[in-house]
A and B are shown apart, each in its own frame.
Chain A
Amino acid sequence: MHDLIAITALGGLEPRVDTVAGTILSENPGLALASVHARMGHEDACRAHLADLLDGQVPEVGRTVLRDPEAAFWTGPDQWMVGAPFDTHEDLAAELKARFGDTASVSEQTDAWACFDLRGPGMAAVIELLCPINIRQMQTGDAQRTSIHHLGCFVLRRDPSDWVRILGPRASATSLHHAVLSAMRSAL
């Protein structure tokens, strides 16, 4: 058996936390992710499985369903990202595949994304500087994909509404972290 040491997306042993003027950016390594894409002709059956998973709700365009343990957000037509705590759902993709069967294509996404939580009174000012989405118009539960420093990222507005979760490409986690932290220092 290999004796491997788990590291976070930024390469540390512990998740990194930065605070600027009371607004906190924290790396979140505790998220398991899998994408679900309905197969052609099985759209309704796939939605039924998703609703079954999420207490009868399916995320509509630009929206999330925030709940525990599984949550989901809309990523495209007939396509969603499902997230859950990594500690309890490390095999999320396999669980979902067993549930959805041939109605959907499910892909493991956990190690594809780096997750950052940005929270505090300056959150909106920072997001405004980072990307072209209208963060002040977004409500709790809204999800948008946008570009942050040329990186395709998901921005999810959570509850309470001074909190956004940013999912960006894990291979560029340090660049994304640098971009967000620079914006915090600039805007706050």
Chain B
Amino acid sequence: MIINHPLLGPRDSSEFVYMGDASLIERPDPEAETAASDFVEYAYLRDNPASWLRELWFHEGGDRSWLVVTRNTVTHEISQVEMARDVARSKGRSK
């Protein structure tokens, strides 16, 4: 499997480490009234679709950037690769 790194171009997936569902970027507000249930959902509950999934990959054997990879879990086709920091900043995270 080849991951097309947004900065470095196509790189072998053996250089990367899978770090889970990209929804981990969206950490709930700990001050919210529903924080307890929000964090249970955030920490433990994942969708497991047999189709497109947005995932976090860490370029451990490369430039150590975190990526958001949109991958089809059935075919392993990758449709989009973004820098995780760009995704996080576009959601107002990482201020």
Contacts and interface: CB of A to CB of B under 8 A. Distances in A.
A75 interface: yes
B60 A152 contact: yes
B15 A146 contact: yes
Interface residues of B, number: 15
A74 to B, nearest CB: 8
A61 B8 contact: yes
B83 interface: yes
A103 to B, nearest CB: 18
B2 to A, nearest CB: 11
Contact of B65 (A77, A132, A144): A77
Q: What is the predominant secondary structure among interface residues of chain B facing chain A?
A: loop
30 contacts: A40-B94, A61-B7, A61-B8, A62-B7, A62-B8, A75-B63, A76-B63, A76-B64, A76-B65, A77-B7, A77-B65, A77-B83, A77-B85, A132-B11, A132-B14, A132-B61, A144-B8, A144-B62, A145-B61, A145-B62, A145-B63, A145-B64, A146-B15, A146-B61, A146-B62, A147-B60, A147-B61, A152-B60, A152-B61, A152-B64
Given A61-B7, A77-B85, A144-B8, 19 more contacts: A40-B94, A62-B7, A62-B8, A75-B63, A76-B63, A76-B64, A76-B65, A77-B63, A77-B83, A132-B14, A132-B15, A144-B62, A145-B62, A146-B61, A146-B62, A147-B15, A147-B61, A152-B60, A152-B61
A145 B12 CA distance: 13
B95 to A, nearest CB: 8
Interface residues of A, number: 12
**A-B pairs with the 10 shortest C-beta distances?**
A147-B61, A76-B63, A61-B7, A132-B12, A145-B62, A145-B63, A76-B64, A76-B65, A62-B8, A146-B61
Nearest to B12: A132
Contacts of A152: 60-61, 64
Contacts of A144: 8, 62
Contacts of A61: 7-8
Interface in B1-45: 7-8, 11-12, 14-15
Contacts of A145: 61-64
Contacts of A62: 7-8
Nearest to B7: A61
A148 to B, nearest CB: 9
Interface string A29-63: 00000000000100000000000000000000110
Residue of A40, A145, A147 most packed against chain B (CB within 10 A): A145
